[in-house]
């Protein structure tokens, strides 16, 4: 059955001006609306009445009530919901991809990759209810059995970003729901549909009970801090910038009830090219890893670190490939670079370009914006002390740093406060692995582009790039808690007279 035929069997989702809160789809109580824009056309897709604190309270309170029954549901029931959700997502492939293109400015290539990543996590999550395993703990007391049982944490609060909204919301939601938690999601204001409401429709159609998944859309000034400090959620999952992540960690530590935080934050990904690298393979990975989704990806390449012996040739051939990239309408299948998400992001990128020129970097390729579409920019003669190399770019700007040998390449790659993702390219795989093991980052790829996210991988960073690990069994660890349980099967007498001890304490 073709993609179009599958989608034709279901009516497109509607009613995105309402949110699933407290078991019903309802309008937010704020007296202002959120305008959801198409970043390429500038047209308003939808206006959504926003939430106030009372809506947030309702969402969390409902999530807490429904969690008891959902947590006690048989693993097979929760697994079935995940499998159904994956099939529904598959049947609505065209609809989902279209929303990603329209709302987040994704090119058709990127939207397809995001759909596939989301689907893979849903399929994997069907196994998660059976992976929340306990263990038997040996004891030295006759007749006593010790156990470590794994329980859902309760309610999970999810704050998701706008760049990969569907996948990065679902990456937390799928495993958290599968192991028996309920959730409240606060999607980014640029992507309320793909970051929350669309997933809620899919899970609802899959049979997820009302109230298990809630979505709140509102300004940070109204519900942002309260989303974290609210006494109900036990875990806050956040994907976004390092400054905001730090703020969330501080709020979680100071909240009335301490809670765990799972943070995937900014990156400054090094892409190291050693002198023996396969140039054609490396160029393909370099262009893809830098410019997919206009570079608006936390694990995108941020700095190209190239050995002096091949630097000039590599940069020249890189520019030639960049020159051939199609820039413009993200809905056209051969477009590789589409729009920046909003005016604020575009303004920041233009400031970075001017800053790079002023600091002495040599521009090899570039151009002015057309609306929110910014063509790719390439800078050479960049040093690692320049702002362009020290800050996360989050846009289609490629800085090149020249190095002399492996030792300098490693030193520069590690000379950053971030440590999320990176790559090294060499024909000598043993050399590449040894180099990779010395990188101070959470995810390292040898001869592979860094823009990947597998459902069974320990996704996460070091240093200022985050806390915790996402995906696979690491996600189960994040959204469950161990409880120590003892069972005394036969009477056991203490090796002393408890009354004597009690009397001594009383005296």
User: Which residues, other chains included, contact 241 with Cβ-Cβ below 8 Å and sequence gap of 6+?
Assistant: 265, 266, 392
- Choose among 169, 211, 210: nearest CA to 188: 169
Residue position matching structure tokens 């998400």: 341
Q: What is the pLDDT of residue 7?
A: 55
Q: Mind listing the pLDDT tens digit for each residue in 465-487? A: 988 888 778 889 999 999 999 99
**Mean predicted confidence (pLDDT) in 489-496:** 71
d(CA 209, CA 205): 10
Place 495 in a pLDDT band, splitting at 50, 70 and 90. low
Q: What is the pLDDT of residue 213?
A: 98
Secondary structure letter of residue 362 according to DSSP: E
Q: Indicate the average pLDDT of the chain.
A: 93
Percentage of the chain modeled with pLDDT above 90: 85
- Straight-line distance from the first to the last Cα atom of the chain, in angstroms, rounded to the nearest whole number: 83
Q: Where are the domains of the chain?
A: 3-265+465-485, 269-446
Place 460 in a pLDDT band, splitting at 50, 70 and 90. confident
Percentage of the chain modeled with pLDDT above 70: 94
Q: What is the pLDDT of residue 503?
A: 52
Residue 472 vs residue 227, higher pLDDT:
227
**Mean predicted confidence (pLDDT) in 45-60:** 97
User: Are the beta carbons of 85 and 146 closer than 8 angstroms?
Assistant: no
Q: Mind listing the pLDDT tens digit for each residue in 365-384? A: 999 999 999 999 999 999 99
Q: Mind listing the pLDDT tens digit for each residue in 178-198? A: 999 999 999 999 999 999 999
Q: What is the pLDDT of residue 121?
A: 95
d(CA 184, CA 216): 7
Q: Residue 420: pLDDT above 50?
A: yes
Q: Residue 504: pLDDT above 60?
A: no
HSE value, Cβ hemisphere, 13 Å, CA-based, for 211? 16
**Mean predicted confidence (pLDDT) in 248-254:** 94
**Mean predicted confidence (pLDDT) in 10-14:** 92
**Mean predicted confidence (pLDDT) in 121-132:** 95
Q: What is the pLDDT of residue 472?
A: 78
**In the CATH hierarchy, which fold is given to the domain comprising 269-446?**
Aldehyde Dehydrogenase; Chain A, domain 2 (3.40.309)
Q: Residue 353: pLDDT above 70?
A: yes
**Mean predicted confidence (pLDDT) in 246-267:** 93
Kindly report which listed range (134-148, 220-234, 309-323, 434-448) carries the lowest average pLDDT score: 134-148
| CA distances (Å), origin 175, targets 152, 189, 192, 214 | 11, 24, 21, 16
Residue 446 vs residue 504, higher pLDDT:
446
Q: Mind listing the pLDDT tens digit for each residue in 72-101? A: 999 999 999 999 999 999 999 999 999 999
15 backbone φψ class: left, alpha, beta (φ>0; ψ -120 to 50): left
Domain at 3-265+465-485: CATH architecture? 3-Layer(aba) Sandwich (3.40)
Q: Residue 498: pLDDT above 60?
A: no
Catalytic residues: 264, 298
Q: Mind listing the pLDDT tens digit for each residue in 143-152? A: 899 999 999 9
User: Which residues, other chains included, contact 333 with Cβ-Cβ below 8 Å and sequence gap of 6+?
Assistant: 108, 109
pTM assigned to the model: 0.93
Q: What is the pLDDT of residue 1?
A: 37
């Amino acid at each position: 059955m073709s993609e179009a035929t599958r989608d034709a069997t279901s009516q497109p989702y509607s009613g995105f001006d309402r949110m699933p809160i407290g078991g019903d789809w309802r309008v937010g109580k704020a007296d202002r609306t959120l305008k959801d824009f198409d970043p390429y056309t500038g047209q308003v897709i939808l206006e959504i009445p926003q939430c106030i604190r009372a809506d947030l309270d309702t969402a969390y309170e409902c999530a807490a009530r429904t969690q008891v029954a959902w947590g006690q549901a048989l693993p097979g029931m929760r697994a079935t919901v995940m499998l159904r959700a994956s099939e529904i997502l598959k049947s609505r492939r065209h609809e989902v991809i279209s929303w990603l293109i329209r709302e987040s400015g994704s090119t058709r290539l990127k939207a397809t990759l995001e759909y596939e990543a989301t689907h893979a996590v849903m399929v994997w999550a069907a196994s998660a209810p059976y992976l929340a395993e306990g263990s038997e703990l040996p004891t030295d007391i006759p007749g006593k059995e010790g156990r470590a049982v794994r329980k859902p944490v309760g309610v999970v609060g999810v704050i998701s970003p706008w760049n990969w909204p569907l996948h990065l919301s679902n990456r937390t939601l799928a495993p958290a729901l599968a192991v028996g938690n309920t959730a409240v999601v606060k999607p980014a204001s640029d992507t309320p549909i793909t970051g929350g409401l669309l997933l809620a429709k899919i899970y609802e159609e899959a049979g997820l009970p009302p109230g298990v998944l809630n979505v709140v859309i509102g300004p940070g000034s109204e519900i942002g801090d309260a989303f974290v400090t609210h006494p109900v959620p036990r875990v806050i999952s956040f994907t976004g910038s390092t400054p905001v992540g730090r703020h969330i960690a501080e709020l979680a530590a100071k909240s009335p009830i301490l809670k765990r935080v799972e943070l995937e934050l900014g990156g400054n990904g090094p892409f190291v090219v050693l002198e023996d690298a396969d140039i054609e393979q490396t160029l393909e990975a370099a262009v893809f890893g830098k410019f997919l989704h206009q570079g608006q990806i936390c694990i995108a390449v941020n700095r190209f670190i190239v050995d002096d012996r091949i630097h000039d040739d590599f940069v020249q051939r890189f520019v030639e490939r960049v020159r051939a990239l199609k820039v413009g309408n993200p809905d056209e299948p051969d477009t590789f670079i589409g729009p920046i998400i909003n005016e604020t992001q575009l303004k920041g990128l233009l400031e970075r370009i001017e800053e790079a020129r002023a600091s002495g970097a040599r521009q090899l390729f570039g151009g002015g914006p057309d609306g929110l579409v910014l063509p790719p920019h390439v800078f050479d003669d960049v040093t690692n002390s320049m702002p362009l190399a020290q800050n996360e770019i989050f846009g289609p700007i490629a800085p090149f740093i020249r190095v002399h040998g492996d030792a300098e390449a490693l030193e520069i790659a590690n000379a950053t406060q971030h440590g999320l993702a990176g790559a090294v390219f060499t024909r000598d795989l043993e050399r590449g692995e040894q180099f990779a093991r010395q990188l101070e980052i959470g995810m390292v790829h040898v001869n592979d582009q860094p823009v990947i996210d597998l459902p069974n991988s320990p996704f996460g960073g070091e240093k200022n790039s985050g806390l915790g690990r996402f995906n696979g069994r690491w996600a189960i660890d994040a959204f469950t808690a161990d409880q120590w349980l003892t069972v005394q099967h036969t009477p056991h007498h203490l090796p002393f007279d408890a009354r004597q001890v009690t009397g001594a304490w009383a005296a």
